[in-house]
Amino acid sequence: MTGPEVVTVGEAMAALRATGPVRLGAPMQLSVAGAEANVAIGLARLGHRVGWVGRVGDDEFGALVLRTLRAEQVDVSHARLDTDGRPTGLMAREDRIADLVNVAYYRAGSAGSALRVADVLPALDPGVRILQLTGITPALSPGAAEAVHAAALRARELGITICLDVNYRARLWSPAEARSALLPVARLADVLVASADELHLVCEDPSLPEQDGVAALLAQGRREVVITRGGDGASATSADGTVSTLARKVPVVDVVGAGDAFVAGYLSGLLDGLDVEGRLHRAATTGAFAVSTRGDWEGLPTRRDLALLDQPAGTTLR
């Protein structure tokens, strides 16, 4: 069997989604969450071979994570079942007023936080084309941070394209802690993805304005710097210049997971050999599917779905 062309590394968790305040006993739905798992599912739905590397607890939540990923055609042969009593991480989110979402993490001491170098390196071989990392996993523990850095080093040795999505989580660590851990990984990345307010975390000089910061990152060896701007679209800058795209206009239901969907679309375009404009268009499309449906990954499109947003409004397909 042919192995994955993309490997993602991180923590996948059980996700409890409340439709109102938890303190009032709002109904909750159980699913799976985790940025790297979301990207893996997004790529798999678009027809790419993708593997997820991480640890889950030897518990029912861990079984749910692995079962869900397998059902989505994600290779979990390098996932590890933690046998030392660490639980699968948990994320609880509640919908508050209007479109405000409150997210709480229960990840301290989780199986995912025990990720080690030896868990990750066996998943990387010359057949892998892309290693996808985020700034979330290094926040979980020093060991997890070491594993992410080691994965990036091995990928660089093997000529694997490295994509780092900064994905800063203020509830996991401080900006200073994030900079300390992410700068060494960012120096190895080929494709760097960040929101406009995250860019300073991976710039050697955090005081630089956006345009100068992007230029400095390219000068240091980054091949592409992609800046996401939520509803205002995104841009990608390389040695050939900057290309921008607008967000696709859809009714917004749930914005959680939109960034992961964007990354999945962008990397899918990269794997398919699309130019920068084509990659951004696919990324904006996958992001639109994510925000127009509830859940982190449930609404992500298949390859056949990609053309649906190009149909006139109100179209009925018969």
Catalytic annotation, residues: 260
Give the H or E element holding residue 131.
Answer: strand 130-134
On whether the CB atoms of residues 225 and 198 are closer than 8 A, the answer is no
Give the whole-angstrom CA distance, residue 12 versus residue 35: 8
How many separate helices (H) and strands (E) can be counted in the chain?
A: 8, 14
CB atoms within 10 A of CB 122: 10
Burial 300-314 (b: 16+ CB within 10 A, else e): bbeeeebeeeeeeee
Residue type at 75 in one-letter notation = D
Closest CA to 4 of 31, 34, 39: 39
Question: Can you say whether the dihedral through the CA atoms of 191, 244, 138, 175 is positive or negative?
Answer: positive
